[in-house]
Amino acid sequence: MDPSRRQLLGRASAWSAAMVIAPLAAHAASAREALGAMAPAGAVPVGPRGDDHLFKISLAEWSLHRELFSGQIQNLDFPSVARERYDIGAVEYVNSFFKDKACDWTYLTELRSRADDVGVSNLLIMIDGEGQLAVNDDNARRDAVHNHFRWIAAASFLGCHSIRVNAGGDGTPDQQRKHAADSLRQLAEVGDDYDINVIVENHGGISSNGAWLASVMETADHPRVGTLPDFGNFRIQGDEWYDRYLGVAQLMPWAKAVSAKTNAFDADGDETGTDYRRMLSIVLKAGYSGYIGIEYEGGGVSEHEGIVATQLLLQKVRSEMELAR
């Protein structure tokens, strides 16, 4: 049974109050108990799926961010857009497009129903704007961790396998490593009760240093903590870039999802900034066989054309690799 609005607001208020006064070490346990009361029954957690292909293709919602921000489509439309426009049967949401709906079970039921109606699997939710998980300030870090708990409940209810978080912060690399790992462990402990993984993307700043992010995974040392290697997000700052091929190779041992970032294409349909044959070889060599998500971010062609071009590129290289087996 979905909780009533009054019950939900009451629980959320009590939860928030508890989190303000809870010591950081006890934070995850308190939040886990509160989440258990807030989240409705009926979630069907689903992990990454595979078939006879070397990998399957999903669609990341950010690929349509211009259409979504302009109101041409709504978040509720995303599953049918993926299926009807591109015949893609798995999607990756971005919380920016339903920011106030994490505990709106009526809305989430409708979203889940729409995905089910068109045979689309919900894979994960990318979480942005909920605070930095590696900041030095204990209160700010506690608040950031707290803000992510409701998305664990939402992801579980939708049948996702993960939430994607960011590992940004301040202080020295060692301080950020320690704080990021601590935050991730807290989230993963809550994720245990919801069968939800907590995965980190290389997403700018120190998180785009593959060696540093790999060290965070080693420090966190939790089976639900993993990575979402993105082919293109390796700009650390200004003109400083981390080697994308090295970075993906360093992150693949913990990968629970992979993002095929594209920006521009040449006359042959190949991505101009990333050698997809080399990159996909790195992914497959690591033993990964889950979904690879299309994330077109360029501006040279329309979002629709960029998604189609990325889909064709992935299919082309996949076919080449399958024939070479």
Contact 87, 80 (CB under 8 A): no
For residue 20, with 0-12 CB atoms within 10 Å meaning exposed, 13-18 middle and 19 or more buried, which class applies?
exposed
Residue 123's CATH number: 3.20.20.150
Retrieve residue 46's tokens: 């689903």
Residue of 105 and 16 predicted with greater confidence: 105
Of 44, 48, 146, 163, the C-alpha closest to 95 is: 163
Q: How far apart are CA 295 and CA 273, in angstroms?
A: 14
Domain hosting residue 305, numbered range: 5-324
Q: Beta partners for 124?
A: 92, 162
Confidence of residue 51 (pLDDT cuts 50, 70, 90): low
Interstrand relation of 235-237 and 240-241 (parallel, antiparallel or unpaired): antiparallel
The per-residue pLDDT for range 64-99, each reduced to its tens digit, is 999 999 999 999 999 999 999 999 999 999 999 999
DSSP annotation of 230: B
How far is Cα 1 from Cα 134, in angstroms, rounded to an integer? 36
The strand pair at 121-126 and 162-165 is best described as parallel
pTM of the model: 0.86
The residue with greater pLDDT, 151 or 47, is 151
Question: Distance between terminal CA atoms of the chain?
Answer: 50
Q: Give how many domains the chain has, as a whole number.
A: 1
Per-residue pLDDT of 156-204, as tens digits, reads: 999 999 999 999 899 999 999 999 999 999 999 999 999 999 999 999 9
Distance of alpha carbon 217 from alpha carbon 253, whole angstroms: 10
